[in-house]
Amino acid sequence: MSRKAAVLYFFQSKAVDIFIRAYTLYTYIWCRALTETDLEFMGVRLMPGYKDPYYKRPITKGEIGCFMSHYRIWAKTTYEGLDEVLVLEDDARFEPYFRFKLQMVLNELRRLKVSWDLVYIGRKSLNDNNESRLENSKLLVRPGYSYWTLGYLLSGRGAKKLLNANPLKKLLPVDEFLPIMFNQHPQAEWLEQFDERNLIALSASPLLIYPIRYTSDDGYVSDTEDSVTVQVARDEPSTDRKEIKEDL
């Protein structure tokens, strides 16, 4: 069994364990073979001058695939007119009593009658000092700059806001894009690339999911980090780019 197949098997078995019986499994969009020409064919343009804030490198093909996978879910949410969806990545580790805790968060949203577009249930907070708890809430905060898209609730309105930002024309990693959309990103020049930054974001606190492994753990592998960066070159287009474009 391949590593990716093993991860999916583990995720599906955990979904059964926590009684998530109805879900749609989206295959990760594999972009390691893509060239710059392929991206142009699909109408994808990278944000000019983007460099990873920590490693100072261009975006990787794995990060592009991750973004496109999330984008496809946002598009499907809008196309099908769904009111609320729960998005989970396959490396999510569920906290004990996950389903009960998730229902508590949903109940809190209903009780407070708070407007929301996106609710993180798993993330890495990078600026705790810029976060505040919702009034009369024990389970929800307004997040600051955060990493990871392990899991989040998304409303139909939120999906439309993300799509309307036209992110495939100035693409960067998805966990950089989301904080931009709720106006909590430290890079002012990136914020300026998107005029409408009015996504109403909340976060569960305490969180409901964490990564299966962290970067320092034995056996840690990342499809986003452990892939080549995108080089600007006029290579021959890959043979499966039409299929990938159709997925979007």
In angstroms, the CA 168 to CA 148 distance is 19
In angstroms, the CA 6 to CA 93 distance is 14
Predicted pLDDT at 32: 66
- DSSP string computed for 141-201: EE--SEEEEEEEEEEHHHHHHHHHT-GGGSB--HHHHHHHHTT--S-HHHHTT-S-----E
Predicted pLDDT at 231: 54
Predicted pLDDT at 178: 99
Mean pLDDT of successive 10-residue segments in the chain (248 residues)? 54 56 61 75 90 93 91 96 94 92 97 98 92 97 97 98 98 98 97 97 98 61 58 45 51
In angstroms, the CA 31 to CA 224 distance is 10
C-alpha closest to that of 133 among 122, 125, 142, 124 = 142
pTM for the model stands at 0.83
| Buried-state track 38-71, b at ≥16 Cβ within 10 A, e below 16 | bbebbebebbeebebeeeeebbbbbbbbbbbbbb
127 and 144 Cβ atoms separated by less than 8 Å = yes
pLDDT tens column, 220-234: 345 555 556 665 443
Predicted pLDDT at 108: 98
In angstroms, the CA 106 to CA 204 distance is 10
In angstroms, the CA 37 to CA 77 distance is 29
- The 8-class DSSP code of residue 211 comes to E
